[in-house]
Amino acid sequence: MTFLDFYEYSLIGLLLGGLYALIGLGFVLVYKATRVLNFAMGEFMMMGAYFYFSATVLMGLPWWAGVGIALGASAVLALGVERLVLRPLVGQPTISIVMATIGLASILHGTAVMVWGADQWRIEPIVPRAPFFLGDAMLPGQLVWGFGLASMIILGFVLFFRYARGGVAMRATATDPHTAMSLGIDAPRNTAITWVLAALISTIAGIMVGAMTNVSPELGLVGLAVIVVVILGGLDSIPGTIIAGLIIGWIESMSVAVFGSGVREIVPFAVILIIMMVRPFGLFGTPEIERL
């Protein structure tokens, strides 16, 4: 591998990592609020991509209307799921709720196959494809734009949680929902909002991923790779997720450069195995949290 290769693949890996961090943020929000690792996050991405596909390709609407419709539909979906599936399970053992999200993932997957078929569909990327050049490295346009958008969204969330009154209430709810309620905070509503926010994040990520690859019922598999990111990041830490996303993105990109794209799916899991043996609560996680 030449130095230029190393340099270019490193940058591409970090850009990819930004996207992973964004998807990871969706996991972390839900985890912090409910202590549940939501295995249906990837399927929320897939549904968001399909909503966008339906609006822009099937109905021929402009991209901004497609984004609006996809966000709206995902929000409704998330609210429904929270109300009908998750809220009735409050107080049940965490493992049952996690199982419910796994069940939810396969229901969403099946629904997508039923409604849109098993084929792969193309959607037009919203951002320009034209590559960027950084020194001698050529970086795919979509990846750079996607990284920029992901960074903005993550930064927005960090600022909201740090400085907004509503952000303080959500952090309070996440630490101790009962005490939060005794202080007048509507914790159940905050939890529902968290699910909606996670679904909105997934939708944006889903549209980006769908435009880079294809829209298919299998789009949600990206979510599984990102589970590695959030476990590495410690499940409940946004900075941890950002760093873990960049690390996994970089390692994935480097191993593809060295071993070819065949190893792509294996690498993240191999990394996680090694790191978790050394640090069982992730790189930045709270040590006492329960492992799943």
Residues that bind other proteins (CB under 8 A): 91, 165, 168-169, 171-172, 175-176, 178-188
Q: Of 268, 264, 248, whose CA–CA distance to 256 is shortest?
A: 264
From first CA to last CA, the distance across the chain in angstroms is 39
Name the helix (H) or strand (E) containing 2: none
Residue 122 has, within 13 A of its CA and on its CB side, a CA count of 2
Residue type, 138: M
Q: How many CB atoms lie within 10 A of CB 240?
A: 23
CA distances from 123 to 20, 25, 57, 150 (A): 20, 24, 7, 19
Closest separation between CB of residue 165 and other proteins, Å? 6
Nearer to other proteins, 35 or 171 (CB): 171
Closest separation between CB of residue 90 and other proteins, Å? 9
Residue 201 makes CB contacts below 8 A (sequence gap 6+) with 22, 23, 25, 26, 29, 153
Nearer to other proteins, 121 or 161 (CB): 161
Closest separation between CB of residue 182 and other proteins, Å? 5
* Residue recorded with tokens 């609210």: 79
Nearer to other proteins, 90 or 102 (CB): 90
CA distances from 18 to 113, 164, 167 (A): 29, 24, 23
Nearer to other proteins, 150 or 185 (CB): 185
Closest separation between CB of residue 174 and other proteins, Å? 9
Nearer to other proteins, 72 or 188 (CB): 188
Nearer to other proteins, 171 or 264 (CB): 171
Closest separation between CB of residue 106 and other proteins, Å? 31
Residue 72: phi, psi to the nearest 5?
-60, -45
Nearer to other proteins, 3 or 163 (CB): 163
| 33/68 Cα distance (integer angstroms) | 26
Closest separation between CB of residue 42 and other proteins, Å? 29
Nearer to other proteins, 146 or 240 (CB): 240
Contact indicator for 210, 39 with CB cutoff of 8 Å: no
Closest separation between CB of residue 161 and other proteins, Å? 10
**Cα–chain-centroid distance for residue 149?**
13
CA distances from 196 to 25, 185, 203, 236 (A): 13, 18, 10, 18
Closest separation between CB of residue 219 and other proteins, Å? 35
